Amino acid sequence: MNDKIIQGLMPEESSEDFSLARTINITYTPNKILIFLLLLVLLGTIGWGFYTGQNLFQSISSGILQLFFVFFCWAIGRELDPDHDYAAFFGIPLLFLPLTMIQGNVFVLLWFLISLRLINQTTGKKTTSTDIIFFVFLTLFSAFLSSAILLLPLAIIIILLSSILPKKQPGLSLLSIPLFPSLILLLLINPDAWSFLNVSPWILIYIAISSALLFLVTTTTDELKKTGDHSLSKLSSKRVQSAQLLCVLSVLIISTFHGNILSVFPVWAAITGIGFYRLIRLIIK
């Protein structure tokens, strides 16, 4: 049966459906490892909470948060390097260092995950207006809770989307226009949301190394073998490379200008992990 016939048998998707959700196939070996790891993290963190004197509620809350951070680290790593199933696991150990354990902002991490899927289209579906509207609201919500600077990379992402989608959609770029006055408004409401280079030299060194590792991944990303979840077409290397570059740009902006690397540390852990994995593969070859 050829590809066109198979595509014809696939259910037709509405152009207004939300297209950025991905399911986890529990029969797939890497996903089995992930589920086992998440259960281990949950139980281990709860047990550690009891050991350090936390009450039941605090221990369970810590376990659930750490589970989310591990999941987001893995999921973001999968979006950054979709061709290598195990690369996403390499950054997870960094989340268990004394200063990084149970550190992160769930909404900001979700923002990164959705932004990557908007660009690389690993779901195999075209971007819809529902996706963009959801992303805009997620950004505004995250900005009010954490950092107004998120609006800047958002505008860049939307403008880039309008130029790289198969069919140009100039209407998408227009959505970025109200974000700039929103940025000013948020800064007026919370002027402390902007602090320039409020990071230590050691953090800057780590950021530089991780950014260099992602640059290595980007420059060595060629034709991809993986297809989208709902498509028979191979993923676009240009889209994946664009997602990689936009990810490091966004996380750099948040970490340096906002001065809070811990709120996005699972993203940095994912970047470091896939970069280290790619470096090992290049050395072995």
| 188: its two tokens | 């007026």
Q: Is 50 exceeded by the pLDDT of residue 84?
A: yes
Q: Is 138 helix (H, G, I), strand (E, B) or coil?
A: helix
Higher pLDDT, 192 or 157: 157
| 67: its two tokens | 């589970």
Q: Is 50 exceeded by the pLDDT of residue 113?
A: yes
Summarize pLDDT for 236-274 with one digit per residue, the tens.
888 888 888 888 888 887 777 666 688 889 999 999 999
Quick one: which of 274, 280, 147 has its CA closest to 211? 274
Q: Is 60 exceeded by the pLDDT of residue 212?
A: yes
Out of 27-36, 184-193, 225-234, give the one with best mean pLDDT.
Answer: 27-36
pTM of the full predicted structure? 0.82
Average pLDDT over residues 156-180: 58
- Interatomic CA distance for residues 145 and 147, integer angstroms: 7
Half-sphere exposure of 141 (CA within 13 A, CB side): 13
Higher pLDDT, 139 or 259: 139
Determine whether 126 is exposed, middle or buried from the number of CB atoms within 10 Å of its CB (0-12, 13-18, 19+): middle
Residue with tokens 């990303």: 221
- How confident is the model at residue 280, as a pLDDT? 93
Residue with tokens 């009891």: 50
Q: Is 230 helix (H, G, I), strand (E, B) or coil?
A: coil
Quick one: which of 60, 74, 162 has its CA closest to 113? 74
- How confident is the model at residue 71, as a pLDDT? 96
- How confident is the model at residue 198, as a pLDDT? 57
| 87: its two tokens | 């690369």
- Interatomic CA distance for residues 83 and 47, integer angstroms: 35
